[in-house]
A and B are shown apart, each in its own frame.
Chain A
């Protein structure tokens, strides 16, 4: 190994002008990547990690125009100040990239082979096929003639990797390369990327929000917070002996598979990432840090010792994150009322209450289009092939599986968005089911104030005006939103707040069943933990049954009493949560569990 880093970022500042004030995306970050090294750059959204990666590529968006200070030395030039021609000459040849969304990152109207040949700077069909084969793509000659939409997500990301490797670069910037993929595919693609880099001596800068993903393949990890690298060190150092309380919190808020926190509250980071428009003078994490004191407002220190570096005023002050989330210990009554007297205590019958939903032999087929007019209609596609399911009163069931397993179709049938082709779905007594979606932003009406959207549901029940206002505020309080949120439009809220608002709308009239379709997979880990805690608390306080569709096994373990594993439209295993994780029976379940990137494995190894 030579001593010259392939990438040397020093004191980088990136600021975007915006109508509401400058956004300080990166505020003095320094990071080195040595030849052949695999470095993880970990942080929540808004930490500036992606901006740092794009700066190294010289690909920051042109609008809003960024102001950049500092240097990003790469192959003898500074990617910040060098002429565009010089930077372009480095891209593809010296530094290349793998981006998050492999569907969006490949040109939809160009055949795979041509895109790869172009990345390689011109290549014969044979060479293209070899490159595709090298990233584990089956039938490479055939796939080269396909368009991106004809490939699966995993294959598309392999194509991206083939393109990134095609000109033997010294450094690959991989920005959330597996986040958009199914969990079993994630593991394979991650290993492919790491192996390919190691075999060829290519350095890898892995930008991710998931410490587990970074822990799986990285030599070194740098933790980004509010535009600075607050801590860096070897993988083992960061995981087993974090110095910065933010790293401790990040490690703690990741739902683990070992079950240490199941049933209880997930530890969460209180508050949310700082506003990048008004950066704090001292440690940016201080407002959320349980160990912060007056000293933390002073200039950030720089403790560096060998590979280890941190910017904490009191390094190592926290060894573990304090127990409990924002709701811990809070048992104040929530003002919501159940809509039906049937649930009043006096009328509870001696027999156990009816289940929230019973599904018997549910089948859902989707017709396929005819290949040409007057052709015989092809066999329909069966998304769900005869599923039985029961969610008990105030119970919690998680359906896990990969995309295409039929889990979302099943959920949609249960809430009535789709008619089952066969079988029956029997809903229990109480208010009809409600649903919350993965993309809360898109599920809220953009121009309508949150309060109005909640109120609409009460208007439908003829709740008088004076009471409506009170109930809106009570609902907001129940989901942990401030009363001011009632007048805010969805755009004005953060991602986590939007998901809370969507939940508020769903529970304004407490349903007997709350169906959640990947409710936290678009959220940062610390926010995800908060939302999962919230769902569990609502279940307890309002007797709402939860039906939870997710590909995230850890999230399933955190909220569910029972887990149902689906594969290709069928239930392959169902078991009480603890039993499923400790003693999985079906090979597919085992595969799913094994594929989850877990920081605990590495801790043991280190």
Chain B
């Protein structure tokens, strides 16, 4: 198992390097002029050239690349053209909100996918019919779900807030994790916890819906297949209860495809987070990217892309390990 972790970790580093290269290439080929953007439209040619020289954009590409990788290794993502802050500082400010939302959505998707998958498995015709409906449900784009939820739960019912991370009447703690829900619990402010949860609910559900359905369908299908396996029959021949057979013998062996699907869905979710944060005015990386795009703020866009990409790669590293846990046969490969 230790060898497997090492091998997968090495693979993860390789993928991260590839990601950095791709981001650099995108930055280099996209026809925009960060130096011009920085000094302003009315600046003289000489001023632009001076800025370009200062930023190193007049160097040949290989030199720029070496420079870029060198800075990256030191955790330097340059300064944002828009906020004039170090991009790293900006990300540090915006990332916790995004991660809190993403983790909440992943949690919902995992729980929901598992529960729904178990419910749908072996349901005979009814289960298969519902699965078809779910394919329909899974084709609703996230922005539409978000808007629908806002219309129903905010406009009509008035149960839940539709924008921001927390109500205006609360002071946001400078807590240890920067996850509002967790920090407020640690600080012993239940009112803030409830308010933060209320704000979290709609965007998290919006993000979690598609992954939940995808995971549930995959899990139900593979559970049905596993139920026909000989070892499930062996478990029944031992006189085990049907529930024990399902949870102890079938579920773990059926979880491989659902884990793969979960990993893929995380990627899609990190993509749609930009849109969802915009809809719910969620002060996270998505909103940051959205605003940076309007300014052609390449250092900011690249930094945020690198962060989201790295998160995706890291989560899939975890999925790989989870699969090795679920199926010991993988470990020897």
A and B part of one assembly: yes
- Residues on A lying within 8 angstroms of B by beta carbon are 57, 59, 61, 63, 88-93, 96-97, 99-101, 104-110, 118-119, 121, 147, 149, 160, 163, 369, 371-373
Do B230 and A101 touch (CB < 8 A)? Answer: yes
Q: Can you sample 15 A-B contacts with CB below 8 Å?
A: A89-B239, A91-B239, A92-B239, A97-B234, A99-B237, A105-B231, A105-B233, A107-B235, A107-B249, A107-B253, A108-B231, A109-B326, A109-B327, A110-B249, A147-B329
Main secondary structure of the interface of A (DSSP, over half): loop
Residue of B10, B236, B252, B333 touching A59 (CB-CB under 8 A) = B236
**Distance of A325 Cα from B2 Cα, bound (Å):** 60
Known contacts A147-B329, A372-B6: A108-B238 contact under CB 8 Å: no
Q: Which residues of A contact B241 (CB under 8 A)?
A: 88
Closest chain B residue to A147, Cβ basis: B328
Measured CB to CB, the closest approach of chain A to B5, in angstroms, equals 9
Known contacts A99-B233, A373-B10: A92-B238 contact under CB 8 Å: yes
- Chain B window 149-190, contacts with chain A (Cβ cutoff 8 Å), 1 for yes, 0 for no: 000000000000000000000000000000000000000000
Measured CB to CB, the closest approach of chain B to A557, in angstroms, equals 33
Known contacts A104-B229, A109-B327, A147-B329: A92-B237 contact under CB 8 Å: yes
Q: Which residues of A contact B7 (CB under 8 A)?
A: 372-373
Measured CB to CB, the closest approach of chain B to A319, in angstroms, equals 41
8 Å CB interface, B226-261 against A: 228-231, 233-241, 249, 252-253
**Distance of A207 Cα from B140 Cα, bound (Å):** 53
Would you call B3 an interface residue if the criterion is a C-beta within 8 Å of the partner chain's C-beta atoms?
yes
Do A93 and B239 touch (CB < 8 A)? Answer: yes
Measured CB to CB, the closest approach of chain A to B236, in angstroms, equals 6
Measured CB to CB, the closest approach of chain A to B229, in angstroms, equals 6
- Beyond contacts A107-B249, A163-B238: 14 other A-B pairs, Cβ-Cβ < 8 A, are A59-B236, A91-B236, A91-B237, A92-B238, A100-B230, A101-B230, A104-B231, A105-B233, A106-B234, A108-B329, A109-B327, A149-B329, A149-B332, A373-B7
Do B252 and A109 touch (CB < 8 A)? Answer: yes
Do A119 and B238 touch (CB < 8 A)? Answer: yes
Q: Which residues of B contact A372 (CB under 8 A)?
A: 2-3, 6-7
**Distance of A96 Cα from B238 Cα, bound (Å):** 7
8 Å CB interface, B249-282 against A: 249, 252-253
8 Å CB interface, B201-223 against A: none
- Chain B window 315-327, contacts with chain A (Cβ cutoff 8 Å), 1 for yes, 0 for no: 0000000000011
Do B239 and A107 touch (CB < 8 A)? Answer: no
Q: Which residues of B contact A104 (CB under 8 A)?
A: 229-231
Do B234 and A99 touch (CB < 8 A)? Answer: yes
- Residues on B lying within 8 angstroms of A by beta carbon are 2-3, 6-7, 10, 124, 228-231, 233-241, 249, 252-253, 326-329, 332-333
Do B238 and A109 touch (CB < 8 A)? Answer: no
Q: Which residues of B contact A61 (CB under 8 A)?
A: 228
Report, nearest first, the 4 A-B pairs whose CB atoms are least far apart: A92-B239, A91-B239, A372-B3, A104-B230
Do A90 and B239 touch (CB < 8 A)? Answer: yes
Residue of B10, B237, B249, B332 touching A96 (CB-CB under 8 A) = B237
Q: Which residues of A contact B10 (CB under 8 A)?
A: 373
Residue of B230, B239, B240, B326 touching A99 (CB-CB under 8 A) = B230
Measured CB to CB, the closest approach of chain A to B220, in angstroms, equals 15
Do B231 and A106 touch (CB < 8 A)? Answer: yes
Closest chain B residue to A96, Cβ basis: B237
Measured CB to CB, the closest approach of chain B to A146, in angstroms, equals 9
Measured CB to CB, the closest approach of chain B to A369, in angstroms, equals 7
**Distance of A96 Cα from B235 Cα, bound (Å):** 11
Q: Which residues of A contact B249 (CB under 8 A)?
A: 107, 110
Residue of B124, B233, B236, B328 touching A108 (CB-CB under 8 A) = B328
Measured CB to CB, the closest approach of chain A to B59, in angstroms, equals 34
**Distance of A118 Cα from B238 Cα, bound (Å):** 8
Known contacts A109-B328, A371-B3: A88-B234 contact under CB 8 Å: no
**Distance of A107 Cα from B254 Cα, bound (Å):** 12
Do B233 and A59 touch (CB < 8 A)? Answer: yes
Closest chain A residue to B227, Cβ basis: A62
Do A57 and B328 touch (CB < 8 A)? Answer: no
Closest chain B residue to A373, Cβ basis: B10
Measured CB to CB, the closest approach of chain B to A58, in angstroms, equals 9
Q: Which residues of B contact A147 (CB under 8 A)?
A: 328-329
Residue of A96, A105, A373 touching B230 (CB-CB under 8 A) = A105
Q: Which residues of B contact A106 (CB under 8 A)?
A: 231, 234
Closest chain B residue to A88, Cβ basis: B239
Do B230 and A59 touch (CB < 8 A)? Answer: no
Measured CB to CB, the closest approach of chain A to B233, in angstroms, equals 6
Do A59 and B239 touch (CB < 8 A)? Answer: no
**Distance of A57 Cα from B236 Cα, bound (Å):** 9
Q: Which residues of B contact A119 (CB under 8 A)?
A: 238
**Distance of A255 Cα from B124 Cα, bound (Å):** 45
**Distance of A97 Cα from B239 Cα, bound (Å):** 11
**Distance of A109 Cα from B327 Cα, bound (Å):** 5
Do B328 and A149 touch (CB < 8 A)? Answer: yes
Q: Which residues of A contact B236 (CB under 8 A)?
A: 59, 88, 91
Measured CB to CB, the closest approach of chain B to A86, in angstroms, equals 11
Measured CB to CB, the closest approach of chain B to A373, in angstroms, equals 5
**Distance of A97 Cα from B235 Cα, bound (Å):** 10
Q: Which residues of B contact A110 (CB under 8 A)?
A: 249, 252
**Distance of A260 Cα from B302 Cα, bound (Å):** 81
Q: Which of A100, A101, A373 has its CB near the most chain B CB atoms (within 10 A)? A: A373
Measured CB to CB, the closest approach of chain B to A370, in angstroms, equals 8
Q: Which residues of B contact A107 (CB under 8 A)?
A: 231, 234-235, 249, 253
Q: Which residues of B contact A93 (CB under 8 A)?
A: 239
